[in-house]
Structure 1
Amino acid sequence: MTKVDRRIAKSQEAIKKALIELMSEKNFDDITIQDISDRANVSRGTIYLHYVDKFDLLDKLIEEHISKMGEICEAVSEAEYIEANLPWFEYLKKHYFFFSTMLASKGAPSFRKQFVEFLIEEFKNEVDTLKGKNQGLNHDIILQFIVSSYVGIVEWWIMNGMPYPPHVMAEQVGMLLERNL
């Protein structure tokens, strides 16, 4: 693993933070590289050194969070649903500003699409090994049902200011998953 220069890492974090802040204030289409540059207190050249354009920046930011969620899934792959959900909801809480901005922003439909695709991959194996009451039902329909429910509950929780702590969400959602898978 190569060591990243701290100045580069600091600049990239400032750029990402600036984009999220700007997206919470206005439509993504209205944000310019100059806006990001001004907010991050870096030159436009610094932004272009790391990203092709604002779309590339947004894509990389989303990919970073999806990748982290994938790492969480790997780490808890053997756990029961309740225990497996806790790190997820803790991660969502820790990065509340990012997720609330992505879910509320009309400029970030790609986030929701990538989130759904990620969850489909994560739940696919669970659905493929169904036993009991869901056995015999169409796997595609079950998968869409589970993923849509999961995305919906995450959106509801984030957009309502996280009315319940992560451990309550993990327990409740885990129990629902156990009942349906």
Structure 2
Amino acid sequence: MDQEKNCQGTIGAGETRADVRHTDATLYLRGDEQYWRTALKQQPDAARKMAPKLRDKWVRMPADDASTAGVCDKQGFVAAMDEDESERQGMKRGSTTEVNGEEALELTKDASGGEKLTLHVATEGEPYILKTTTEGGKNPGSVTFSEYGETVSPEQPPAGETVDMRELAGEQQT
């Protein structure tokens, strides 16, 4: 991701993954049927009807959609991690590990709500975050960062490979 909220990469929901691209104020996600069933689990009827239609298509969503806002917002993501300065206080230095072939130091903290936060910070060069992990609590998951300093140039998927989520959602309501 870059400062202009362009990004491309992979995100996960449960045990499944989806490709993500954000360009020209539009977010695109492409996942298999299981990804969409997992992502739509709060709406079982919609998941059952929509997941087969979304399988392996690039789903086009407005970037300001509340459910996807911030997916590619680098400043927002970093600010949210640092929103409560107390989150940084009391972090314990853990072992050295490897993240995508780079040596990283683990910093951990038991947080409120039964969460355990782990930051993996590069040990060579600038100490940038390579990975964040949250275990337990309401929103477990992880984010891995790579290719620091590289230009992000996501392309819009071909029109024939995209589905507009707003149109599809309207179709489900009739």
Bin for the TM-score computed over the shorter chain: under 0.3
Instruction: Say which structure is richer in helix.
Output: 1
Whose RCO is larger (CA < 8 A, sep 6+)? 1
| TM-score (norm: length of structure 1) | 0.23
| TM-score (norm: length of structure 2) | 0.24
